[in-house]
Amino acid sequence: MRHVLAIAVLIEHAFVLSGSESLLAATRFKFSLGGAAVAGFFVLSGALITASWEHSPTAWQFARNRLLRIFPGYLACLLVTAFVIGPLALAAQSASGLATYWRQEPSPLGYVLRNGLLMQFQNRIGSLFAASAEAYSVNGSLWSIPWEAGCYAMVAALGVAGVLKRCPLVVAAGVGQAGPWGLLLASLAATVLLAALSWHWVESKCLRLKRAGNRPTAALPSASEAPAHS
């Protein structure tokens, strides 16, 4: 199913990047093949991520699994885009411009560093893809990554609160009615909640260690107080 959805996204993007009329425009903005595929991805991911939460012994294990699932591939994508695809694409555009690729602004290194924490703060590299239908856009598909990370945080927050087990149908109905902006706000709120819970956990651990260090120990009897042995 995910392969079918991925192919649907590729077809939609091929129309957009070639400047051709997409299905969205052909249907007078009533249907988007890529939009339907992305929605399908989020539905499948929601089921899989919730199952991952239920099989994780702790919230920290869940966070670790999610980070290992998304971050290595995302970072590899940024590196390959900036240091492999970028130079090759610029060489195809202009052989003389390849020598100045590494000195362009916004820079290839900045593309990796500014986008490295799952948020896209730089979506272009110099004059790369300037003649494209989506001018200067290097990899617009990465827009969904922050949403995915936010949904991870939302699932974790709902799981910690026990809502996923007690009221799953209420959660499903709420997500269905929230819409994209509602989901974004809920994801941000969940991220803040998890940060607060993490800080509370660290603070409580530090307090316990401090109390354990200050706890008086039983004094050993001195030689004069030691009981005499006959």
Model pLDDT, residue 155: 85
Residue 147 backbone phi and psi in degrees, to 5: -65, -40
Model pLDDT, residue 45: 83
- Classify the phi-psi angles of 83: left when phi > 0, otherwise alpha if psi is within -120 to 50, otherwise beta: alpha
Residue 104 has pLDDT above 60, yes or no: yes
**Would you give the end-to-end CA distance of the chain in angstroms?**
86
Query: Do 88 and 46 meet the contact criterion of CB atoms below 8 Å apart?
Result: no
Amino acid, single-letter form, for residue 114: R
Q: Which of 43-52, 83-92, 120-129, 161-170 has the lowest mean pLDDT?
A: 161-170
Residue 230 has pLDDT above 50, yes or no: no
Model pLDDT, residue 185: 52
Closest Cα to residue 34, out of 24, 47, 19?
24
CB atoms within 10 A of CB 66: 21
Alpha carbons 163 and 171: distance in angstroms, whole number = 8
Q: What is the DSSP letter of 14?
A: H
Under the banding of pLDDT at 50, 70 and 90, the label for residue 220 is: very low
Alpha carbons 55 and 63: distance in angstroms, whole number = 12
Under the banding of pLDDT at 50, 70 and 90, the label for residue 106 is: very high
Q: How many residues comprise the chain?
A: 230
pTM: 0.69
Under the banding of pLDDT at 50, 70 and 90, the label for residue 157 is: confident
Under the banding of pLDDT at 50, 70 and 90, the label for residue 191 is: low
